[in-house]
Chain A
Amino acid sequence: QVQLQESGPGLVKPSETLSLTCGVSGASISSSNWWAWVRQSPGKGLEWIGEIDHSGITNYNPSLKSRVTMSVDKSKNQFSLNLSSVTAADTAVYYCARELYSRGQAFGMDVWGQGTTLTVSS
């Protein structure tokens, strides 16, 4: 059974850089799938932040692109999100998810972590 687990600081000060990690178990991060980050602000909907594949190719949401960096660590079977210059508007639940691909076709985000709450406050 594939499982994803986010880890992060919980609280970050304004202007600092947020760092989150998603550990993958039950599957190899080196598969054909992509790995994504999605966030959900309090009482609001879902926002796709971006995605990364096992080789490190990334695709970011233009609304966050100037502040986002994603990376993959194959040795630890995990991937990470860095978001710089955070403000209160970045307060949200952050989810990592698997974007399932097979034979060149995409099948949506089929596995999600349970989410980690990030608060930006001084």
Chain B
Amino acid sequence: DVVMTQSPLSLPVTLGQPASISCRSSQSLLYSDGNTYLNWFQQRPGQSPRRLIYKVSNRDSGVPDRFSGSGSGTDFTLKISRVEAEDVGVYYCLQGAQWPWTFGQGTKVEIK
């Protein structure tokens, strides 16, 4: 199975400051069709997850533009340009290049 490793696992951030989460995969997520299947999800406290980013850097509809994704191969990053109170929660990366699809352990973002 492809192992997804996120860091840090806990991220205290000051409101208005940037935040960055790393996700590394044990194998390249570049699929034979030329796409890289790395996605980011947000799970706010007490809620179901929602997708923020798909195929590395494509923001879902309704996702604020302060969220951005980047990376390639095995190394990926989710950035929040200016953290707001509503961004508190756990963030997960998910690879879809190989079954079973696997998630990272999650990064808990909290306000300092």
The finding on whether chains A and B are genuine partners in a shared complex, rather than unrelated, reads no
